[in-house]
Amino acid sequence: MENELGRFKLVETKSVIYKDGKKQPHIHRYYEGFAVWHGAESTVEVTVRCNSDPNAECGFVRLRWAVDNSAELENRLVDYTLDCFVRKNAPAADIEIWSAGFDDDSDEIPEPMPPEEFKKHISINFLCVEDDGTISAEMDLDGLFTDHGFMIDIDADGNLLNGALWG
C-alpha cells in the first residue's frame, strides 16, 4: 500500500493462543514500512498495528498526526532524550559515553560529551503506532551507548510519558 504517508505492506503472522483453556488460532496483523518525514526530506521506519482495527484506520490517523507534526515532534523527542541523560543537579555536566571506539576502531573509552554535542547525535529511528493511538518512538543514539536506543512512549494526546535506554 502506498499513500501520502509513505509505503507500507501488511504483515500477518499466525500463532496459537490459549483462551478459556482452549487453543485458538490467532493472527497478528500490522503494517510495516517507511513514512515520509519532514515533508519528504527523509523517511522513518514505521509499524502500524491493526489487531483490533483490521484496516488500521486509527493507527494511520495517528501516523498522519505524527507526519504532519514531524519537525516539532522530533524536536520534542530529541530534547526529551537529552533531558533524560542530563543530571538534574548538574545540567551542564558532560554525559558519559559507553561505546569504546565511538569515533574510530580503537578500544579507547571516549571522553564524556557536553550536552549540546550529545544532542547532535540524537535522531528518530523508528515509530510504532498502536491500535489505541499511542506511539512508541525509538531514538537513535548514533552508537554512543554500544548500539542501545532510547524508547519514548507517547500517549494518544501527544504527551511524552516516559523514556528508557534499551537494546
Residue 100 clears pLDDT 60, i.e. is over it: no
* Cα 127 to Cα 125: distance, rounded to the nearest angstrom: 7
Residue 148 lies in a domain: yes
**Cα dist from 7 to 16, 17, 33, 94, whole Å:** 30, 31, 6, 40
Residue 105 clears pLDDT 70, i.e. is over it: no
Residue 117 lies in a domain: no
Retrieve residue 145's grid coordinates: 551507548
* Cα 135 to Cα 46: distance, rounded to the nearest angstrom: 10
Residue 82 lies in a domain: no
Residue 8 lies in a domain: yes
What is the predicted pLDDT for the residue at 51?
A: 76
Residue 98 lies in a domain: no
Residue 126 clears pLDDT 90, i.e. is over it: yes
Structural domain containing residue 7: 2-75+123-166
What is the predicted pLDDT for the residue at 151?
A: 96
What is the predicted pLDDT for the residue at 160?
A: 97
Please give the mean pLDDT across all residues of the chain. 87
Counted domains in the chain: 1
Q: Write down the pTM of the prediction.
A: 0.83
Q: Let me know how long the chain is.
A: 167
Residue 149 lies in a domain: yes
